[in-house]
Every structure is written in C-alpha cells, then in structure tokens.
C-alpha cells in the first residue's frame, strides 16, 4: 500500500536503524538472561547431576524457543517492510510464519510435546482447533457469501 | 454541581416513569389499565414472594442454617438442589407468561387484550427464562447432583467455582425478576436481534436487562462446563474407564464439552451488542459499516450447540430410566455412546439452519441443510436402543417411565418436523411461523422438560431420603403429555396456515379454533404444574411413610444407588473399585454390595466458602448498575468481586478433615439400618414397605 | 532421577507425592480447558474482524492508522516477557531462594507494562487521527479484538502482582506454585494470541 511504500522510501535508513535497534535489544536481552541464568546461582546442587542436566535442557528449550520466535517475528515484518512479495504471497508468508511461531510457543514455552503428551490435553487442543476452524471458517464463508450477493 | 446532576449520578436513569403502573396513572386508557394492571400484579407477586420468603426464614430462625448449610456450601449435592429449586421458581413464572400469551392469542381475533409492547416483553421473558433460567439450571442441577456419585467421586473438581456458577445464575434470574418491578424488558425475543435491539430502536433499559442477564448465565455455564468436564476426566473411581461410565455421565460429559465451546460465541455476541449500545460502536448498526447479519451468525454459533446442551442430559436421564424400569441392561451401550458423541460434534456444523432465509446462496444453504438432516440419525439410533431396552424387559409403569414413554412418542414427531425444516426450500415457507414454534417446543417440552421432571422424580429419594407420591406424579405426567399435545399440535397447523411467530393478534377468523384449543392446552399444563406442587406437599407430609434410607428404591444400576439416602457429604466412605458397566448391579449380583470396608481413612473435603454469595450479590449489583447507568455502583461492585477473587488467592486454610472414625461410625450405622430392613421385589416398589433395599432378581435366585 | 514424563501443558514441577500430582494435573487441566474457551472467544472476534475489515465507511483504514514500528517494539516486549516468565518458571522449579523468582517476575511485569503503555499510546494516537471505534464497523472490530487482548494482559499483570505479594507473604508454598503454573499457561497463551493479532490485524492490514 502506498502509505508503507512512501514511508519506506522516505526513511529507509531510519527504518533500518529501528530494525537494528530492535535486534540489538533482543540480542542483549538474550545475553543478559543467559548470563543471569548461569550467574544467579540458581543452578541446583552439584550432587544432583541429573537434575542439573534437566535444568540445562529446559533452559536450552526456552532459549531456542525465544530465538526462533524472534526470527519468526523478524522475517514477516521484514517481508512487509521491504515489499519483496506479491500481496497474496506476503499474506501466505505471514500466515505460515505465524502458525510456525505458534507451534514454537506451544512446544518450547508451553511444553506441549505431541509424542509424549498426555492424550487428554492433546485431544483438547485438537478439538479446539477443529471448533475454531468451523466457527471462524464458517463465519467467513457465510458472511462472505452474503457480502458477495449484496454487491 | 446542582441537585439534578447529583441525582442523575446516584440514580442513573432510574425514574418513577419506569414503575409498572405509571402509564396507567398518567393516561388511564383501557389498554393502559389492562396492561399495567397485569404488570403491577406481576411486580407485586415478586415483591410479595420475596418478602414472604424473608419472613418465613426469619420465623423459622433459619438464617444461620441457610447460610452455613446451603448458601456457603460447596457440596455438589446441595448446589444441585439449589439449582433445581431456582429452576422450579422460574418455570412457574415462565408458564404463567405462556398462558397469558395463549390467552391473548385465543382472544386475538381483532386485537386481544394485551398491548403489542407487553406481548413483546412476554415472549422475550418467556424464552429467556425458559432457556437460561429454567432449563440450564435444571439440567446443571441434575448433573451436579448425580454425576459425581455415578463416577465414584466425592465432589466436582472445582467446588468453589461450582458455587460461583450457581451464584451468577441466581444473579441473572434475580435481574430478570427485578425487571418486573422497575423498567421494562426487551421486546426483541430471547435471541435479541439487532438492529431492533440497538439504541436507535430501543433506547430504554429492556435490551440491557436482557444482555446482562444472559451474560451472567453464559459465564456461569462456561465455568460449569469446565467443572463437569474436568471432573469426569480426572475424578473417576479406580476401574471406572470411559466405556464403563453410565450413559447419564456420558451425556453429561458431552454436554459440558458443548458448554465450554458454545458459550463463548454468545458472550461475544451480547458483548458486541453492549458495546454498540453503551459506547456507540458499529458492529450491528444500520450505518457506518455495521453488519447485523453477523449477529445472527454469532448468536446461532452458540444457539445450536445450546439446544444440544439442553437435550443431551435428558437423553442421559432417559437411558437411566429405561434400563432401570425395564430391569435390563441398556441395549447397545456402545452405539449410544457413539451416537452421543456424534451429536455433540455435529452440533457445531449446523447452525446456519436457524437463518436459512437470511440471504445466503443455495450452496451454503444446501450444505447446512444436509448436515442438519444427518444429525437426526444418531438420535434415531438412540430411540431404537431405548425401545430395544424395553423389549423383553419387565417394564414397570412408574412416573419416570411414563414421562419417558411420552417422550419417545412425542419427541419423534418433533424430530420429524425438524427434518422437514432442515430442507431450506420448505423452511422458506414456514420460517418464523408457529410451525417452527411448535417444532422447538415439541423438542424441548417432551424432550428436555419431561426428562428433567423424570430426573426429579427418579433422584428425589436419593437427595432427600423419601420417595415422591406416585399418584400425583402420574397425574402431573399425564397432564403434561395431554396438555402439551393440546397446546402445541394446533400450532403446526397454524404455522402452515401462515400465522407468524411472536404475533399479537390476527384478522382472519380461521385461526381462532386452533388458538382456543391451544389455550385449553395451556390450562391443562398449568394443572400439571399444580399437580407437581401438590405432589411435593403431600410427599413431605408423608415422608416417614415414603422413607427410603437404605438408598436403593428403584433397584438402580449405577453407583449412586449404592449410597445411603441422603448420602453423606463425602458420598463414598471408601472409593469403590469398578469392574464393569452397571457397577452397582454387578455388586448386587456378585454379593459385594453393602459390605463393610476393611479400612477407613481420613477424608479431606473443601470447607464452605462465601465466594458464591459474593459473586451473586456482586454480579447482580454490577448488572443492575449497567442497566440503569449507575456507574459508581458498577465500580463498587467490580472492586468487590475482583477483590474477593484476589483475596481468595491468598486463602490457605480451605480444606477440612473428616476423621476416619467418624466415617466408619456413619457407615456402620447405615449398614445396620440396611440389615434391619427387608428387601422388596419390584411388585412392592411404591409400597411403604420399600425402605430402599432392593431384592434383586439374581440375588433372589441365588437364595 | 529419571526424566519425568510431561503430564500437562506448562511447566511440570517434577515428581512429588501421588496426591499432589493428581491435584496439580486436575487444576492445570481445568485451567487449560478455560484457556481453550478463551481461544474460542478470540477466534470469533478474529472472524468478526476479518469480515468487517473493509467496512471503513469512508473513514481511515490500516494504512492511515497503524504505527508498525510501535507494534514491532510491543511484539518484542511481549515475546521477551514470555521468555522472562520462562526464566521465572525455571527459577521456581530449580531455585532454592525466592529472590531470583521475584526478580524475574518483576522483569516480566515491567515488559508487560511497556507493552501496555505503548499499546495505549497507539490507541490514543489512532483516536486523534480520526479513528475512534465509533467511526466505522472496521474500527469497532479492531477495538474489540486488540483491546480485549490488552485487557487480558492487564488482568495477567494484576494477577502477577498478587502472586508476587503472595510469595512475599507465604514464600513459595504449594498454592503459590500452582498459581504460578497457571499464570504461566495464561501468559504464554496471550503471546500466542498476540502473534495472531500482529499477523492478521497489523501485518495483514498493511499488506
């Protein structure tokens, strides 16, 4: 849309600076947090080696999830900002990245892990997705049909 | 700041002109006098009823026990009973409203005696009350009481939240009752379609009363759904796998899943309408980009699963009733379970059939029409399973079974009319006529209401320790069946003759005879309701004669019948080990019923909590404040409720221990009572000799 | 000590007595069910937004109203707050003292407040640009969906404050742990909803 193109042409350098700034914030946050993690002394007593390994594994999951999420955020914003794709392609990409990032959140932050997950919880997520699909999809289909017939 | 501003701030838009007799005093025309007299009478009943209740409680010095044993109780059994009491009170009001409407239409040739506005309020309150404050509380109450006992649990998963749900439902009911005293109710029907319910057409308090009453009820039901689903998932007794659950619990599970997923669209629809009305948004307005058809879409996204929420528990009740009173295992258990689950799932993809005529294209209509016809199939499976359960059984014509037989015959007719309506082309002819009204009453009255009344009769002995009088129960059941047929079958004809729903009067005399028959039916139904009250009165008077403390008056098949009547707060002294379906029948046949457990343990139960009452009062005040624009009251109410929620988070001492020796003592006392009675065969089921111990056929044979 | 099979969504605190495990599972399953019902609320509002996206009634649309830079920073803030809450959860599970836990929670809260502040500022700016919710159907739909998420974040923040006070009063007892586990599920869920919002509403609106 013209608004975005104008702004990107006008302050491309300014926009790029914003992006770098944002990245810098994110990276320093990661650095701070990893540092805090190892320095805060919250790692368990050395005698429980298994527990320590588990702690490191969980910490890594969070960090990996965070980094992935940042990347999966940066790319769609970037794709919009630099207008590289057609409108349809852009929408598809945005949707795809959103779904993947949602999955990353579910896996890394919410620890929903299909192979090992308790069936009750997985059933619930699957059924909810099914209902969401019916309700949102149905609404869009029906109202879209009505809108088309009223033009 | 002058006096007027202060008054406006304190009282919002309250004013004397909202009193029910105001118009009559200002302008005493015949129409005003008739309508306002009826309205004032109704308002007086509310005030009188409230005052009488307060007086009686004070007279019997019952405030203390009322507070500590009932209002702050988190026992699912007590909460269930309170839900059912609420629903009976609201049923009384909604039935009177129905009779008034039938009367108006019987005399409707040329106009009738009610004003259009009054009639509009009547059908709106009738529908809103029947669905949200009669049917939902009734089925919630029955599931609350029965389900935990059937799965071998001590309580639901979230007892305090259970109490909160009751409080919010009661608050919504009170809001609808107070609308009789001050202000008018919406005239937009129980569905409240905009733009008619927008500020442009109804700037008064009516739609606001409706919005907040429904919101309170829907939030309560959402929480209830979560509570029931988690209970059934996580609190089943050892050995109670899913395919050993009684059918009533299966339907309770599917109902709760529907509640969880269907209530959100309603909350959204009413919230968006509220945003339009209060803050000038444009979701459903005629101008500036509103899309009022989305309201119908959102409302029925809720509305269709809602009707399955209403009917599934009744199906569960019928399953229990048919098997118990035929003395046989339920036929086709697995097919019944699969049918129930399919109905629950399919209920999410048929909602458009409520607005076939809204203007979408034939392809859309055809898809939903086909889906609607498909959903009739599992119900058909269930009907056959029930009939086959009775076949070759030793059928006893008790009150619950009479309701069930009435159901089988009448519900099938209603279902057939539904299949007719599922065809969009046919629906274009009869949409929004009395044909539709006949169809859904045909589903709800013989379906839901008979089921709930059967449940009431069936489980009353378990709840209170004595049976209900059979004669008055039979009279009530027969009056309900006949009254329903008289009141609603003419409506099928009226609809086909072109009479629209929600219509005040008419100018074609051809309608009159049908309307008069329907009016007669309304009287028979009122008689049926009166019989219910007489039954209760007589039963309480003769409770010693009807006492069934041993707990199993009907030779029941599921675990709740293995408990004393009434059961102790913790239900089971020792959690049962389940080995198959019809768990209690199994125990009776194996000879393991009424055993003394080897070991008793301390039982941890939740303490009473005032959270339910706080949310009830707070919720009511917030809703009232929203209706009347009393913003200070809204803020106070919100702070109170939120504060209570945060405060509850800080609560630490929320459980009490019932010591093992007390449990043992109670259990032994009951077993001694059982040992001292003689078992009765089914021939003497409604005899005073039936003290609740069943001579199970196989037990007899073993002797 | 072997790795404990993860039994429910959100952080699993590791083995304890059977009864506590059952109770935790029940409580968290119930909360997860509530989150699913909340997801339905949001998805219905998303659908409403989708069908009203073009009903601008001659008023301003996404291009005129959205400040994508602000939204980007809000996104990073909220995402980071999810991460800091994860760190708080780890501190809850493995830590021996409450200070790191409280610090991580305060950091999460700070990021949440940044998010809310920026979002409120965005809304006010939109009002000034002629885009209040009363202007058109599109704006009504926007202002039901996005502020509802903000309201959830606000509620979560108040809950977080209450939890911090509880930790200071009671220490990290069983109730506090259960509360923090539920708040965690809530918090991460809100970030997932935000992903949908910035993708569908902001990026989708400007595409």
Whether B331 has a pLDDT exceeding 50, the answer reads yes
> Is C6 a member of any domain?
no
* Best B154, B158, B261, B268 residue to mutate vs chain C (most C CBs within 10 Å): B268
For residues B149 and A83, the model is more confident at B149
Q: What Rg, from alpha-carbon coordinates, does chain B have?
A: 26
Q: Do A70 and C7 touch (CB under 8 A)?
A: no
C-alpha–C-alpha distance, residues B482 and B521, integer Å: 7
Helix axes B116-128, B159-181, angle to 10 degrees: 170
Q: pLDDT grade, residue A18 (50/70/90)? A: very low
Question: CA B231, B229, B557 angle in degrees (round to 5)?
Answer: 65
> What DSSP state is assigned to residue B500?
B
Q: pLDDT grade, residue B66 (50/70/90)? A: very high
Closest in B291, B349, B361 to A145, CB measured: B361
Judged by DSSP in three states, B67 sits in helix
Domain count, chain A: 2
Residue A6: predicted pLDDT? 38
Both A61 and A126 in one domain: the answer is: no
B608-625 confidence digits (pLDDT tens): 999 999 999 999 999 999
C-alpha–C-alpha distance, residues B95 and B485, integer Å: 16
Both A34 and A64 in one domain: the answer is: yes
Question: Chains meeting C at 3+ CB pairs closer than 8 A?
Answer: A, B
Q: Do B288 and C135 touch (CB under 8 A)?
A: yes
Both A78 and A132 in one domain: the answer is: no
> What DSSP state is assigned to residue A11?
T
Both A66 and A9 in one domain: the answer is: yes
Handedness of CA B206, B211, B212, B213 (dihedral sign): positive
Q: pLDDT grade, residue A23 (50/70/90)? A: low
Residue A113: predicted pLDDT? 73
Residue B390: predicted pLDDT? 96
pTM: 0.92
Contacts of B234 in chain C (CB under 8 A): 22, 25-26, 29
The CATH number of the domain where C109 resides is what? 1.20.120.80
Q: Is the peptide bond before B195 cis (omega within 30 degrees of 0)?
A: yes
Contacts of B265 in chain A (CB under 8 A): 135
Both A110 and A146 in one domain: the answer is: no
Q: pLDDT grade, residue B543 (50/70/90)? A: very high
Q: Rounded to an integer, what is the distance from CA C195 to the centroid of its chain?
A: 10
Please state the rounded mean pLDDT for residues B517-534.
97
Identify which of C127, C38, C158 has the alpha carbon closest to the alpha carbon of residue B279. Answer: C127
Q: Would you call C143 an interface residue with chain B, using a CB distance cutoff of 8 Å?
A: yes
Residue C175: predicted pLDDT? 92
Both A104 and A131 in one domain: the answer is: no
> Is C75 a member of any domain?
yes
Q: Would you call A62 an interface residue with chain C, using a CB distance cutoff of 8 Å?
A: yes
C-alpha–C-alpha distance, residues C78 and B153, integer Å: 41
Question: For chain A, what is the largest distance between any 2 Cα atoms, rounded to a whole number of angstroms?
Answer: 74
Range of the domain at A148: 118-151
Whether B702 has a pLDDT exceeding 60, the answer reads no
Between B37-51, B176-190, B213-227, B586-600, the lowest mean confidence (pLDDT) is in B586-600
Question: Chains meeting B at 3+ CB pairs closer than 8 A?
Answer: A, C
Q: Would you call C94 an interface residue with chain B, using a CB distance cutoff of 8 Å?
A: no
Both A126 and A85 in one domain: the answer is: no
Residue B209: predicted pLDDT? 97
B265 to chain C, closest Cα gap in Å: 6
Residue C1: predicted pLDDT? 30
Contacts of C34 in chain B (CB under 8 A): 226
Q: Are A30 and A68 in contact (CB under 8 A)?
A: no
Identify which of B275, A98, A66 has the alpha carbon closest to the alpha carbon of residue C197. Answer: A98
> What's the ipTM?
0.94
Question: For chain B, what is the largest distance between any 2 Cα atoms, rounded to a whole number of angstroms?
Answer: 89
Identify which of B69, B122, B93, B91 has the alpha carbon closest to the alpha carbon of residue B503. Answer: B122
Closest in C9, C43, C72 to A110, CB measured: C9
C101 to chain B, closest Cα gap in Å: 18
Please state the rounded mean pLDDT for residues C101-119.
97
Q: Would you call B482 an interface residue with chain C, using a CB distance cutoff of 8 Å?
A: no
The contacts of residue B457 (CB under 8 Å, 6+ apart) are B398, B399, B400, B403, B468, B473
Both A83 and A124 in one domain: the answer is: no
Both A122 and A112 in one domain: the answer is: no
Both A76 and A134 in one domain: the answer is: no
Q: Do C72 and A77 touch (CB under 8 A)?
A: yes
C-alpha–C-alpha distance, residues A140 and C54, integer Å: 13
Whether A38 has a pLDDT exceeding 50, the answer reads no
B233-281 confidence digits (pLDDT tens): 999 999 999 999 999 999 999 999 999 999 999 999 999 999 999 999 9
* Best C24, C38, C43 residue to mutate vs chain A (most A CBs within 10 Å): C43
Q: Would you call B349 an interface residue with chain A, using a CB distance cutoff of 8 Å?
A: yes
List the domains of chain B with CATH numbers: 62-547 (1.20.210.10), 548-609+654-703 (no CATH)
Range of the domain at C143: 38-52+63-206
Closest in A127, A128, A145 to B360, CB measured: A145
Q: What are phi and psi of C10, to 5 degrees?
A: 85, 175
* Best B261, B298, B356 residue to mutate vs chain A (most A CBs within 10 Å): B261
> Is C14 a member of any domain?
no
Q: CA of A124: which chain C residue's CA is closest?
A: C33
Identify which of B543, B529, B601, B546 has the alpha carbon closest to the alpha carbon of residue B572. Answer: B601
C-alpha–C-alpha distance, residues B269 and B267, integer Å: 6
A86-144 confidence digits (pLDDT tens): 889 999 999 999 999 999 998 899 888 766 656 788 889 899 999 999 999 999 999 99
CB pairs under 8 A between A and C: 166
Buried b (16+ CB within 10 A) or exposed e, C48-78: bbbbbbebbeebbbbeebbbbbebbbbbbbb
Q: Are B201 and B239 in contact (CB under 8 A)?
A: no
> Is C129 a member of any domain?
yes
> What DSSP state is assigned to residue B289?
T
C-alpha–C-alpha distance, residues A34 and A59, integer Å: 9
> Is C21 a member of any domain?
no
Closest in B225, B261, B280 to C134, CB measured: B280
Following DSSP, what letter does each residue of B291-320 receive, concatenated? -THHHHHHHHHHHHHHHHHHHHHHHHHHHH
Whether C14 has a pLDDT exceeding 60, the answer reads yes
Q: Would you call B360 an interface residue with chain C, using a CB distance cutoff of 8 Å?
A: no
Domain count, chain C: 1
Q: Rounded to an integer, what is the distance from CA B495 to the centroid of its chain?
A: 27
Question: Chains meeting A at 3+ CB pairs closer than 8 A?
Answer: B, C
A9 to chain C, closest Cα gap in Å: 15
C-alpha–C-alpha distance, residues B235 and B578, integer Å: 13
Q: Would you call B261 an interface residue with chain A, using a CB distance cutoff of 8 Å?
A: yes
Whether A28 has a pLDDT exceeding 60, the answer reads no
Average pLDDT of chain A is 75
Both A54 and A98 in one domain: the answer is: yes
Contacts of A95 in chain C (CB under 8 A): 199
B265 to chain A, closest Cα gap in Å: 9
Alpha carbon of A88 to those of A91, B340, C51, C54, C112: distances in Å?
A: 5, 42, 18, 17, 33
Residue C7: predicted pLDDT? 57
Judged by DSSP in three states, B70 sits in helix
Both A86 and A106 in one domain: the answer is: yes
C-alpha–C-alpha distance, residues B610 and A55, integer Å: 41
Judged by DSSP in three states, B241 sits in coil
Between A8-17, B465-474, B655-664, B675-684, the lowest mean confidence (pLDDT) is in A8-17
Residue C19: predicted pLDDT? 80
Q: Would you call A47 an interface residue with chain C, using a CB distance cutoff of 8 Å?
A: no
Q: Do B233 and A139 touch (CB under 8 A)?
A: no
> Is C1 a member of any domain?
no
Contacts of A143 in chain C (CB under 8 A): 51
Which residues in A have their CB inside 8 Å of a CB on B?
120, 127-128, 130-131, 134-135, 138-139, 141-143, 145-146, 149-150
> Is C25 a member of any domain?
no
> Is C85 a member of any domain?
yes
Following DSSP, what letter does each residue of B395-407 receive, concatenated? ----HHHHHHHHH
Residue C10: predicted pLDDT? 65
Q: Are C109 and C21 in contact (CB under 8 A)?
A: no
Whether B671 has a pLDDT exceeding 90, the answer reads yes
Average pLDDT of chain B is 95
């Amino acid at each position: 849309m013209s608004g975005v193109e104008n702004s990107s042409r006008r302050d491309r350098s300014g926009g790029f600076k914003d992006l770098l700034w944002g990245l810098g914030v994110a990276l320093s946050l990661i650095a701070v947090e990893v540092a805090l993690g190892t320095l805060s002394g919250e790692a368990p007593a050395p005698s429980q080696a298994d527990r320590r390994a588990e702690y490191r594994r969980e910490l890594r999951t969070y960090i990996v999830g965070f980094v992935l999420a940042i990347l999966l955020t940066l790319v769609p914003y970037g794709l919009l900002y630099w207008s590289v794709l057609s409108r349809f392609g852009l929408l598809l990409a945005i949707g795809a990245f959103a779904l993947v990032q949602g999955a990353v959140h579910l896996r890394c932050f919410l620890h929903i892990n299909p192979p090992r997950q308790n069936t009750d919880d997985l059933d619930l997520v699957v059924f909810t997705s099914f209902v969401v699909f019916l309700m949102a999809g149905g609404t869009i289909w029906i109202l879209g049909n009505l809108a088309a017939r009223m033009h | 700041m002058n006096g007027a501003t202060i008054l406006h701030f304190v009282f919002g838009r309250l004013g004397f002109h909202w009193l029910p007799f105001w118009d009559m005093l200002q302008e005493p025309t015949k129409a005003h006098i008739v309508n306002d007299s009826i309205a004032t009478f109704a308002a007086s009943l509310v005030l009188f009823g409230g005052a009488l209740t307060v007086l009686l409680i004070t007279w019997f010095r019952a405030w203390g026990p009322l507070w500590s044993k009932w209002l702050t109780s988190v026992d699912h059994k007590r909460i269930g009973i309170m839900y059912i009491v609420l629903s009976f009170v609201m049923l009384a009001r909604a039935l009177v409203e129905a009779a008034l409407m039938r009367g108006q239409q019987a005399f409707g040739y040329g106009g009738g005696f009610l004003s259009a506005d009054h009639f509009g309020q009547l059908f709106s309150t009738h529908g809103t009350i029947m669905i949200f404050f009669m049917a939902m509380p009734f089925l919630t109450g029955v599931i609350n009481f029965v389900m935990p006992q059937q799965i071998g649990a001590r309580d639901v998963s979230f007892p305090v939240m259970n109490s909160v749900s009751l409080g919010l439902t009661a608050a919504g009911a009170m809001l609808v009752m107070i609308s009789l005293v001050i202000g008018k109710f919406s005239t937009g029907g129980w569905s409240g379609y905009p733009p008619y319910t927008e500020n442009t057409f109804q700037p008064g308090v009516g739609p606001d009363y409706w919005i907040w009453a429904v919101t309170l009820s829907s939030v309560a039901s959402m929480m209830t759904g979560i509570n029931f689903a988690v209970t059934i998932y996580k609190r089943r007794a050892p050995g109670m796998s899913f395919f050993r659950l009684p059918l009533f619990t299966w339907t309770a599970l599917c109902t709760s899943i529907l509640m969880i997923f269907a209530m959100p669209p309603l909350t959204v629809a009413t919230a968006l309408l509220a945003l339009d009305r209060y803050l000038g948004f444009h979701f459903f307005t005629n101008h500036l980009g509103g899309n009022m058809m989305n309201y119908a879409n959102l409302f029925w996204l809720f509305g269709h699963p809602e009707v399955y929420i209403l009917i599934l528990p009744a199906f569960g009740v019928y399953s229990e009733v048919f098997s118990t009173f035929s003395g046989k295992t339920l036929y086709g258990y697995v097919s019944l379970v699969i049918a129930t689950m399919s109905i629950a799932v399919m209920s999410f993809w048929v909602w458009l059939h409520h607005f076939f005529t809204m203007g979408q294209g034939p392809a859309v209509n055809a898809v939903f029409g086909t889906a609607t016809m498909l959903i009739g199939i599992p119900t058909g499976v269930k009907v056959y399973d029930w009939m086959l359960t009775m076949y070759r059984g030793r059928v006893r014509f008790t009150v619950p079974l009479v309701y069930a037989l009435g159901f089988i015959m009448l519900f099938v007719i209603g279902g057939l009319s539904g299949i007719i309506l599922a065809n969009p082309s046919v629906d274009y002819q009869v949409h929004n006529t009395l044909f539709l009204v006949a169809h859904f009453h045909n589903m709800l009255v013989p379906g839901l209401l008979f089921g709930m009344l059967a449940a009431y009769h069936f489980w009353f002995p378990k709840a209170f320790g004595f049976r209900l009088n059979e004669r008055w129960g039979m009279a009530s059941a027969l009056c309900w069946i006949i009254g329903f047929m008289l009141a609603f079958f003419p409506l099928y004809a009226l609809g086909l003759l072109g009479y629209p729903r929600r219509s005040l009067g008419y100018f074609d005399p051809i309608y009159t005879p049908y309307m008069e028959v329907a009016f007669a039916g309304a009287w028979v139904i009122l008689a049926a309701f009166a019989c219910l009250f007489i039954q209760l009165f007589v039963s309480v008077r003769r409770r010693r004669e009807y006492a069934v403390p041993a707990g199993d008056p009907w030779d029941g098949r599921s675990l709740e019948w293995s408990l004393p009547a009434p059961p102790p707060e913790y239900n089971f002294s020792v959690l049962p080990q389940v080995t198959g379906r019809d768990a209690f029948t199994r125990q009776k046949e194996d000879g393991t019923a009424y055993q003394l457990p080897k070991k008793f343990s301390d039982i941890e139960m939740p303490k009473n909590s005032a959270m339910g009452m706080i949310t009830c009062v707070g919720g009511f005040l917030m809703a009232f404040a929203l209706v009347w624009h009393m913003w200070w009251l809204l803020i106070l109410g919100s702070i109170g409720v939120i504060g209570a929620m945060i405060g509850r988070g800080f609560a630490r001492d929320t459980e009490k221990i019932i010591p093992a020796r007390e449990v043992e003592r109670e259990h032994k006392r009951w077993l001694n009572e059982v040992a001292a009675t003689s078992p009765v065969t089914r021939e003497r089921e409604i005899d005073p000799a039936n003290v609740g111990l069943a001579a199970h056929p196989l037990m007899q044979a073993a002797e | 000590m072997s790795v404990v099979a993860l039994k429910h969504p959100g952080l699993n605190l590791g083995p304890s007595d059977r009864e506590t495990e059952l109770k935790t599972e029940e409580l968290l399953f119930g909360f997860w069910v509530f989150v699913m019902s909340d997801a339905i609320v949001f998805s219905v509002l998303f659908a409403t937004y989708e069908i009203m996206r073009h009903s601008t009634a001659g008023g301003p649309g996404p291009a005129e109203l959205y400040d994508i830079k602000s939204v980007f920073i809000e996104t990073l803030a909220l995402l980071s707050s999810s991460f800091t809450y994860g760190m708080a959860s780890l501190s809850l599970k493995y830590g021996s003292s409450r200070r790191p836990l409280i610090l991580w929670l305060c950091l999460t809260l700070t990021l949440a407040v940044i998010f809310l502040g920026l979002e409120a500022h965005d809304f006010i700016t939109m009002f000034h640009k002629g885009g209040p919710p009363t202007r058109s159907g599109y704006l009504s739909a926007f202002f039901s969906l996005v502020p509802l998420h903000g309201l959830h974040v606000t509620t979560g923040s108040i809950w977080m404050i209450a939890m911090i006070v509880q930790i200071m009063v009671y220490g990290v007892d069983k109730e506090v742990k259960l509360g923090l586990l539920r708040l965690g599920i809530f918090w991460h869920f809100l970030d997932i909803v935000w992903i949908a919002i910035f993708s569908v509403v902001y990026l989708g609106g400007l595409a």
